[in-house]
Amino acid sequence: MSKKPRVSVIIIFLNEEKFIQEAIESVFAQTYDNWELLLVDDGSTDASTEIASGMPHNILAECAILTMIATRIGA
């Protein structure tokens, strides 16, 4: 077990199908070894979520994909 502090990497994305795979892979390429990855879909209507969900199982085992449900308040 690592005694290094745990780092949370949070990627919030909205219609980023061009970049989401590269962003996820860049986290896995880091040399620091005590981290968690949280992917938050902010209501994407493109293929971003499918791309993130389609990453290899060994990668997805290390992260969580969340769907943000938000209500806009105000005008």
Domain residue ranges in the chain: 7-67
Residue 28: predicted pLDDT:
86
Segment 16-58, tens digit of pLDDT: 999 999 998 898 899 998 888 888 888 899 999 899 888 776 6
Tokens of 46: 């493109």
Q: Which two tokens stand for residue 74?
A: 């105000």
What is the distance in angstroms between the CA of the first residue and the CA of the last residue of the chain?
49
